[in-house]
Structure 1
Amino acid sequence: MKRLAIIIATTTALTGAALAADPWDGGDDLPTNPLACDDTPGTVAAKDYDGGQTTGAADKSGKEITLIDIPKLVGVGYFAATTEGMRQAAEELGNVKVTTDGPTEANIDDQITFIDNYVTQGVDGVLFAANDPVAIAPVLKKALGKGIHVVGYDANSDPDAREWFVNQAEFNGIAKSLIDQMAAEIGDEGKFAIVTSTFTTPNQARWIAEMQAYQESCHPKMEWLETVEAQEDNILSFNQANTLINKYGDDLDGIFGMTSVATPAAAEAVTQAGACGETAVVGLATPNAMRPYVESGCVKSVVLWSPVDLGYAAVYVMRAVVDGDLSPGDTEVEAGRLGKLQVVNGSEILLGSPFVFDKSNVNDFDF
């Protein structure tokens, strides 16, 4: 039996399904911008600054600042890696203290509570990766109103609820990479499904929206069977991958997984099904989580930006904001060992292109 599972990951959610035939708006009202089918670079139109502003922030230029980092959840490898990057940046800068805290499940209500508590206690800055872009906005605006600087990374909020957002890669670029990889694995007439976090988790939702637009334009004969949710839950991700395999059988040529928890869980499901070699597993995930499957040959490649660099960049951006070295209208910002990072889409800092981990280099990384 031919069963191909292609799993792409990054991080979360509820059990559920949405047919691909239904319009996919990415959980927001933003238009899609699919790249060209060949390798012609996309263009980014100039856009005015659309971030928020603090009210009455203290002048801490060059002075020590205390930051709190509230990711989607703690206790998973991906956010342990962003935390390590923040630690490295704080150590290099010498005048930053940063602490990571947050919920143990990707729950927006819990995340809001954590942020609100630290806003009440008083910090100089809040770093966050949003579980929900709209729901998190009021508490972030509360922080801005109290003179607390706010910078997002990994998963955005409404733009006016934070000053800047450090984007790991542009959504349409990731979408093109994923769909092209799927087409290479299963052919231009293959059928696929998606395991995501929740339908409204900001980054996964936008990737899927751009994936749909690019696939319909450049690989129109591919068939999208279903999209299911699996949270940041290893067991649920494993079960959802198994369910798709059992439900569609020979009709399922590929599975995209949109979370870093889902990818190794799906690779394990393929392994236990005895489908390695017949079932291709490719995706966004941390190298440590995927190393056993890469070394066994069950997974050929893993795609991800460096979450260590993402956390590192977020702290440097926050320091630049506090020091007055990054202001609305600027086109770049200095970020330590990463050099100058570009400002895109008005108020986003672009980390750069994803990196491919495979058998030749996966042991060179430890996160």
Structure 2
Amino acid sequence: MVITTVRRFAATIVVSLLATGLVACGGTTKDSTTGSAASPAPAQPAQASADPDAPLKEGLKLAFLPKQINNPYLTILDNAGIEAAKEFKGEAKEVGPSDASASSQISYINTLIQQRQDVILISANDANAVCNPLKQAMAQGIKVVAYDSDAAEECRHLFINQASSEEVGRSQVKMLAEMIDYKGEIAILSATANATNQNTWIEFMKDELAKPEYKDMKLVKVAYGDDDDQKSFQETQGLLQAYPNLKGIISPTTVGISAAARYISGSKYKGEVVLTGLGTPNQMRQYVKDGTVEKFALWNPEDLGYLAAYAGAALASGQITGAEGETFKAGRLGERTIGENGEVILGPPFTFDKSNIDDFDF
């Protein structure tokens, strides 16, 4: 998938702007291995010390393993990471399942271990289901970078987070509350029930809703569209039929928000039920222009994939080990610092509306 340059992007925000359905590009591979989870890995060797002055190694092999390969948001992200690898003379590819079930990524991890990849980059469908095979990869010297949706902390070296999880969750509630005057029933249309990022954001949404200013708002349902367009469409229909007084829906997934917008745009609920969440400008442009959606948020998935690739290369080259406080240079994104629990944050989310959506093309 060819991604065009974001126009006037750098002038709009200081740092680059989630979550998610299209077939991956021609460089994508998909193996047919159907093996089960790897056995628990042996204890890892002692952590080596970082050498921040070490050059990036040439010829590094990186593999991006998204939640599912027919996910437009993750396709944009992975393609950007593949392109970034060319800058440091590495080789990168995307492999992955066509469904986002908890165990669907396990056979791919096992195959990538056999292929002796230098770096596995994973957007985890289930933080714990992938843990044993990722530990096996780490024990064999493969660097593991989670991006977009985290794996369990002990099963990866770094997590490249699109934005502060707390900021994402709270900002979604604040955005919706302003549009419904802080009154009424609301629902959340999520991706899969086990998605780490979704669940973390939702917990912060619930915590935000517990504040006094939201006393007249009530969360009536968290529905799951499983990052499937048709199921998300049907879940939206079900929410609106089950809760006739529903005033708003938050869908923090690009698959969910676009499916929900498609349903609402052709229904009696257009102009009556407020929809917001996380989406890409190209997916949501028509719904913003026709009045179905007033505003929504995201970040630049190209930059997230780019940052993940450079983080993986820095790990594999010995510049960093994943320890808090270490820094590395991420190409055009500049120097980045590793935070608590091995987390590297891209930057704050950005709000799109009718006034600016034509300034972006991704």
> TM-score, normalised on structure 1?
0.81
Instruction: Classify the secondary structure of the residue corresponding to 1:311.
Output: helix
Give, as a single letter, the amino acid of the residue that structure 2 aligns with 1:68.
A
Tell me if 1:244 matches 2:253: no
Aligned residues between the structures: 317
- Residue 361 of structure 1 aligns with which residue? 356
Structure 1, 121-130 or 321-330: larger mean CA deviation: 321-330
- C-alpha separation in 1, matches of 2:246 and 2:274: 12
- C-alpha separation in 2, matches of 1:312 and 1:331: 19
- C-alpha separation in 1, matches of 2:278 and 2:45: 35
- Residue 327 of structure 2 aligns with which residue? 332
- C-alpha separation in 2, matches of 1:309 and 1:54: 32
Match runs of 1:55-134 below 5 Å: 62-93=57-88, 95-134=89-128
Match runs of 1:209-288 below 5 Å: 209-218=203-212, 219-249=214-244, 251-288=245-282
What is the deviation of 1:92? 2.1
Cα distance, 1:54–1:338 mapped onto 2, change above 3 Å: farther
- C-alpha separation in 1, matches of 2:327 and 2:209: 32
What is the deviation of 1:60? 9.3
> TM-score, normalised on structure 2?
0.82
Instruction: Classify the secondary structure of the residue corresponding to 2:211.
Output: helix
- Residue 341 of structure 1 aligns with which residue? 336
The partner residue of 1:140 within 113, 134, 142 is 134
What is the deviation of 1:182? 1.4
- C-alpha separation in 1, matches of 2:227 and 2:45: 32
Cα distance, 1:329–1:177 mapped onto 2, change above 3 Å: closer
1:257-313 Cα distance to aligned partner (Å, 9 max, x none): 132111011011111113333332222011111111112222122200111111000
Cα distance, 1:54–1:61 mapped onto 2, change above 3 Å: farther
- C-alpha separation in 2, matches of 1:53 and 1:312: 28
Instruction: Classify the secondary structure of the residue corresponding to 1:326.
Output: coil
- Unaligned runs of 5+ residues in structure 1 are 1-8, 13-51
Tell me if 1:170 matches 2:179: no
- Unaligned runs of 5+ residues in structure 2 are 1-17, 22-42, 49-53
- Residue 316 of structure 2 aligns with which residue? 322
Instruction: Classify the secondary structure of the residue corresponding to 2:104.
Output: helix
What is the deviation of 1:55? 7.5
- Residue 10 of structure 1 aligns with which residue? 19
**Percent sequence identity over aligned pairs:** 33
- Residue 43 of structure 1 aligns with which residue? none
Q: Is the 8 A contact 1:168 1:350 kept in 2?
A: yes
Instruction: Classify the secondary structure of the residue corresponding to 2:231.
Output: helix
- C-alpha separation in 2, matches of 1:54 and 1:313: 27
What is the deviation of 1:208? 0.6
- C-alpha separation in 1, matches of 2:45 and 2:91: 20
Structure 1, 349-358 or 330-339: larger mean CA deviation: 330-339
1:217-243 Cα distance to aligned partner (Å, 9 max, x none): 252331111111110111110111111
Instruction: Classify the secondary structure of the residue corresponding to 1:62.
Output: coil
Of structures 1 and 2, the one with the larger relative CO (CA 8 A, separation 6+) is: 1
What is the deviation of 1:110? 2.0
Cα distance, 1:329–1:225 mapped onto 2, change above 3 Å: closer
- C-alpha separation in 2, matches of 1:344 and 1:299: 35
- C-alpha separation in 1, matches of 2:47 and 2:188: 45
Structure 1, 221-230 or 147-156: larger mean CA deviation: 221-230
Structure 1 ranges of 4+ moved more than 3 A: 52-57
What is the deviation of 1:197? 1.7
What is the deviation of 1:335? 1.2
Give, as a single letter, the amino acid of the residue that structure 2 aligns with 1:359.
K
Structure 1, 165-174 or 273-282: larger mean CA deviation: 273-282
1:339-366 Cα distance to aligned partner (Å, 9 max, x none): 2223222310010011122223323333
Instruction: Classify the secondary structure of the residue corresponding to 2:294.
Output: strand
Match runs of 1:21-32 below 5 Å: none
- C-alpha separation in 2, matches of 1:184 and 1:56: 48
